[in-house]
Chain A
Amino acid sequence: MQKPVKPKTEQQRLSALFNTGLLDTEPEPRFDRLTHLAQLCLGTEIVLVSLIDSDRQWFKSRQGLDACETHRDISFCGHTILGDEIFEIPDAVVDNRFTDNPLVLDAPFIRFYAGVPLSINGANIGTLCFIDSKPRQFTDKERQIAEQFAKSIEQEIVDRLQEQAHSELLESDKMYRLVLEGTQIGTWQWNVQTGETVLNERWAEIIGYQLEELTPISLDTWLTKVHPDDLTLSEQSLQDHFSGSTTFYDIECRMKHKHGHYVWVRARGKVVSYSKDGKPLMICGTHADITTQKVNELALKQSRDQLYKLTQELPGVVYQFQSWPDGRSAFPFASSGIEAIYGVTPEEVRLDASTAFNRIYLEDLEAIAHSIELSSQNLSVWELEYRVHSNDNALKWLSGSATPERMPDGSTLWHGYIQDITQTKEHYLKLEELNIQLGIAQQSLDLASEQAQIGYWQASLKQGTLWWSPIIYQIFGLNEQDFSPSVSLFKRAIHPDDVAKVEKSEDQARVTGIHNVVHRIIRPNGEVRWVHELGQLVSEDKNPELIMIGSVQDITDRMKLQKIKDDFISTVSHELRTPLTSIFGSLTLLQSGKLAALPEKAQKLIDIASSNCQQLSRLINDLLDIEKLAAGKMSFEMKPSHIMPLLQRALKDHQPYADLHHISLTLQVNQPMDELLLFVDEHRLLQILTNFLSNAVKFSPQGESVTLSATLMDEQIEIAVQDQGSGIPDDFKGKIFERFSQADASSSKAKGGTGLGLALCKELIQAMNGSIGYQSEPGSGARFYVRLPIMK
C-alpha cells in the first residue's frame, strides 16, 4: 500500500484548513444537501466532504458512511489533494497502490474512488469524493458534475466563513456599542470631503444638550462649540494624522457647555477610509468628558507648583532625609534652600548626604547623630538647634524639625524643615546677656531705692493698671502680700489736709506731663510720714499706653530737719532783730537830734553806726527772703497793678537816698502807659526796683543821674535802671545773680551791699513769671532790667 505523501505546502495548507473553522463541527445542511444531491446525481454509494488534517481525514459531510474519520495514511483523499485535477481509481483491487488498503480489504470495501480537491485561497484543504464497492468509471459528464459539486462545496465554505465573520462583526459591534455607552463616550463621524457630520446623543450630552437641539448637525456644530484657543491645536493634530505622522487624531480641548462654562474633552479619531485619489474620506472618533480629571490634574499641578514655589520661597530648606540601617543616608528631596543651609545643591545630596554632614560643626556632630538615632528608634519628632560652617567658614545656627516614618526596606524617612536662626540665636544670646545685666541693674536699683527709701511705680492711664516697687509698700506701711496697688488705696493714704494739694499736682501733670508734689500720708498704724512724689508721663508719641512712671521718696526725716531749720531761722531772726531793734532805735533817736544835741564828731559816728545797722537789717531780711523762696514758702499777692504809680513810688522812696549821694533820679517811658496793667505782687516788684535803684545810686559817681525807664516791647514791658558807674567787671558777669556775689570783697565794705540782693531779685521776678538781665559796656555804666508780661 502506498501512503499519501505530504505536499510541499503542507504548513500553508493546514493553516488554510484551520482558518475555515470546519474541523470537528456539527454536520450542516448546507453541505449535507449538496452531498446528498451529488449522491443522487452520480449514483455512488458514498459521497464525502473530507478534510485532510495533519494525521487524519475528517468528514464534514458524509452520505452512505458511518465513520466520521480515518487515518490519513490509509486515505485515498490524501492522494487527491496532491494534485489539482480529479483523482479517479476505477478498481482499487487491481491498483497496486490500494490493493492491500484496509478500506479496500474491509468495510466499506472500496473498489471505485473519485476525488475532487477542495481549494480555498489556493490551498487544497480536502476533497469532495465519491466511493463505490463495485468497479466503475466516470464519464466525462459525470466528472464535470463532480467538479461542479466540488465548486459548490468550495463556495459554501467561503460563504460560511463570511457569514461567520459577519455575525462576529455584529457581535463585536454590539459589544462596542455597549462599551461606548458604558464609558459615556460620545462618537462622531466626519466626511472630510463633503463635511457631512454624524454625532451621537452622548456627544451632545457632554456639552449639556439633547442631540436634537444641535440640529442641523454639521462641522460647524463642532467648530462653534470648541474653545477658539484650542482650534489651532485641533488643526495641527488633524494635519499630523492626515500626513501619517500620527496614528490617531488626539487632542484635549475645551468645549463650551450649554450653561456657559467650558468642559474638557478628549477628542480622538482615525481616518477609516480614503477617496480614490488617496485623500482622507471618513474619519471616525470619540469624545470623552475629562473635565473632572482635567480639573483635578490642573488643581494638582497648581498645588504642586504652589508647593514648589513655596518651598523655594522659604528661607530654610524643606526636605526629606532618609537613613538606612547600614549607615547610608540621603536627601531624596530638598528644596533649593538647602544651598543656603548646607552649601550644597539638592542634586549633590540626593543619593548621599555626607557632603551636607561635612558642614556640621564638629562639636555638634555627636548631638546630631544621637538625636537622629533617637528619633529613628522611637519614631519621635526630631528637633535640634546646631551649628554648621557657612561658605565663609563662619558658624551659623540652624534649627531643624522633622517627622520620621519607617520605610518597608527598614530605612527611616524624615519630612522636615531646617532654618537659619543665627540672627535669632544671636539676639537671644544678646537678650540673655542683657537680661543678666538688667537683673544686676534691677538689684542695684532695688538696693539703692531701699537705701534712699525711694520707691518707684508705673501706671498705665489707659489701662488703669498700677505697679509698685516693694519700697512703696514699705513707705506706706503696707504688706506687699495683702494689698494690690490701686489708685484708691493710694488716695486713702493721703493726709486729708494734703488731698487738695495732690489733686492740684495731678491736674497739672495732665497738662505739663510732670507730677511733683510733697505731701503727707498716714500709715495704717496712724503714723504720719512725709513723701515726695515725682512722676512723669512718657512723651505721647512713644507711649500709646499713656504710661506714667514715677517715684515716691520718704522724706519724713528731711522734713523734720527742714522744720528744725525753719524754727532755727525764725528764732535767729527774732534773736537778731530784737537787739537790732534797740540799737537801731537808739541810734535813730540820737541821730534825730531831737532828744540831745551832739558834737559834730559824735554825730558822724552815730551816722556810721546807723547806716551799718540798716545794712545789717537788710541782710537779715534778704537772707530770710531767700530762705523762704528756696523753701517755697514765700507767698505772693499777685494782682493787676498799674505800672506808672509803682514806678513813681519807687522813685519817690529813693529820692532822699539819692539826694544824700547827690544823684539825680529821672523817669523815662517810651510811650504813655497809664492804661497798662501788670499782674504782680506790688510789694515784691518794689523790692526789686529798690534793689536796682539803691545799687545804681551806690555805684554812680556824685553829680551823675540814674534813669528809671519803662519800655513797651510787644507783649512785655521792660523796666530798667541805668546808672553812670564804671560798669560790671568782666570776671563778675557770669555770677552776678548768684548769692553772696560781689564784684570784689572791698566793694561790700565801701558800698554796703549784702551780695544777696540780685540773687533775690532773680528769684522774685521768676516767681512772678518775669525775667531779669543786664547790659554793661565798660565806661558807660550798667543797665539792669526786668521784663514782665502785660495783662490784656
Chain B
Amino acid sequence: MPLEKILHIEDDESIRVIVDMALVDISGYTLVSCASGQDAINQVEQYTPNLILLDAMMPGMDGLQTLIELRKKSSYQQIPVVFMTARIQQSEQQEYLDAGAVAVIEKPFDPMSLGNQLATIYQTFITAADNHSSE
C-alpha cells in the first residue's frame, strides 16, 4: 500500500506552510495540518492518515504527549509516527524512538526530498509490519 494520506502536527505556521507545499505541491500527498496536539486529537474522528509527522517541541501538549494521546484512539494505534525536531542530541532522538516513533527527521529539512524520505520510511515500516504479521 503506497503512502497517500499524511497528518502533520506543527505549532510553527511557516513550517506548516512549507511542509504543505513540499508534500502536497511537490509530492502530491493528501495532507491534514494541525497547529497543536489537541487539534490533531480533535481531527481523529474525521481523518485517518497512513503516517503522522509530529513536531517534537510544541507549547502545551508536546510531541510525546500527543503521541500517547493519539495512541489511545484505536484507529491510530497502528499508524507510523515520524518525529521532526530541531534538537539533534542523540539522547533526545532515542527518547522518541523508544516512545514508538519509526523515524526522526532533523530540522532544517530539505523540502524537496521530504516526500521521498517519508515514502521510504513508510515502505520500510509496511514491509516490517507485513513481515511481523505474516510470522
- Residues on A lying within 8 angstroms of B by beta carbon are 570, 573-586, 588-589, 592, 594-595, 613, 617, 621, 624, 628, 633, 635
Contacts and interface: CB of A to CB of B under 8 A. Distances in A.
Contacts of B88: 573, 621, 624
Given A577-B107, A589-B111, A595-B21, A582 B12 contact: yes
Contacts of A583: 108
A585 B87 contact: no
A357 to B, nearest CB: 88
A585 B15 contact: yes
A351 B35 CA distance: 120
B15 A582 contact: yes
A777 B5 CA distance: 58
Given A585-B15, A589-B21, A578 B111 contact: no
B95 interface: no
A585 B108 contact: yes
B86 A574 contact: yes
Nearest to A588: B111
A570 B18 CA distance: 24
Interface string B16-52: 0011011001100000000000000000000000000
9 contacts: A580-B108, A581-B86, A585-B14, A585-B15, A585-B18, A585-B19, A585-B108, A588-B112, A592-B26
A748 to B, nearest CB: 21
Contact of A573 (B25, B86, B90): B86
B107 A581 contact: yes
B4 interface: no
A579 B12 CA distance: 9
Given A573-B86, A573-B88, A578-B15, A588 B25 contact: no
B74 interface: no
A635 B90 contact: yes
Nearest to B18: A585
Nearest to B85: A574
B86 A577 contact: yes
B57 interface: yes
Contact of B107 (A570, A578, A633): A578
A577 B15 CA distance: 11
B112 A581 contact: no
B89 A570 contact: yes
Interchain residue pairs A-B with the least CB separation, the first 5: A577-B86, A585-B18, A582-B14, A581-B107, A581-B108
A583 B109 CA distance: 11
B109 A581 contact: yes
A580 B108 CA distance: 6
A585 B25 CA distance: 13
Nearest to B84: A581
Nearest to B14: A582
A583 B26 CA distance: 17
A589 B57 contact: no
Contacts of A578: 12, 15, 57, 86, 107
A626 to B, nearest CB: 13
A576 B14 CA distance: 14
A585 B22 contact: yes
B18 A589 contact: yes
Contact of A588 (B12, B15, B86, B110): B110
A158 B82 CA distance: 165
A642 to B, nearest CB: 23
A575 B26 CA distance: 27
Contacts of B108: 577, 580-581, 583-585, 613, 617
- Could you say which of B19, B86, B109 has the most chain A C-beta atoms within 10 Å of its C-beta? B86
Nearest to A591: B112
Contacts of A585: 14-15, 18-19, 22, 108-109, 111
A584 B112 CA distance: 11
A633 B12 CA distance: 29
B107 A580 contact: yes
A562 to B, nearest CB: 14
A635 B90 CA distance: 8
Given A577-B86, A621-B88, 19 more contacts: A570-B89, A574-B87, A577-B107, A577-B108, A578-B12, A578-B15, A581-B107, A585-B14, A585-B18, A585-B108, A586-B18, A588-B110, A588-B111, A589-B18, A589-B112, A595-B25, A595-B26, A624-B88, A628-B89
A574 B57 contact: yes
Nearest to A570: B87
B103 to A, nearest CB: 16
Nearest to B88: A624
A498 B22 CA distance: 46
Contacts of A621: 88
B96 to A, nearest CB: 14
A241 to B, nearest CB: 119
A581 B128 CA distance: 31
- Could you say which of B12, B18, B26 has the most chain A C-beta atoms within 10 Å of its C-beta? B18
A633 B89 CA distance: 9
A624 B92 CA distance: 14
Contacts of B111: 585, 588-589
Contacts of A624: 88
Nearest to B113: A588
Nearest to B26: A594
A581 B15 contact: yes
Given A582-B14, A586-B14, A588-B110, A594 B25 contact: yes
Contacts of B110: 588
A577 B90 CA distance: 16
Contacts of B22: 585, 589
A564 to B, nearest CB: 16
Contacts of B15: 578, 581-582, 585
A577 B14 CA distance: 13
A223 B80 CA distance: 128
Contacts of A579: 14
A771 to B, nearest CB: 25
A589 B57 CA distance: 24
Given A585-B109, A585-B111, A589-B111, A573 B18 contact: no
Contacts of A595: 21, 25-26
A584 B19 CA distance: 12
Contacts of B109: 581, 585
Contacts of B21: 589, 595
Contacts of A577: 86, 107-108
Nearest to B94: A635
Nearest to A621: B88
Nearest to A624: B88
Contacts of A576: 86
B74 to A, nearest CB: 33
Nearest to A578: B86
A594 B89 CA distance: 33
Contacts of B57: 574, 578
B87 A592 contact: no
A611 to B, nearest CB: 14
Contacts of B19: 585
B28 to A, nearest CB: 12
B105 to A, nearest CB: 10
Contacts of A617: 108
Contacts of B90: 635
Contacts of B87: 570, 573-574
A724 to B, nearest CB: 31
A529 B87 CA distance: 28
A686 to B, nearest CB: 16
A624 B87 CA distance: 10
- Could you say which of B21, B26, B88, B107 has the most chain A C-beta atoms within 10 Å of its C-beta? B107
Contacts of A574: 57, 86-87
Contacts of A628: 89
B5 to A, nearest CB: 21
Contacts of B26: 589, 592, 594-595
A318 to B, nearest CB: 82
A173 B70 CA distance: 147
- Could you say which of B14, B26, B108, B110 has the most chain A C-beta atoms within 10 Å of its C-beta? B108
Nearest to A575: B86
Nearest to A635: B90
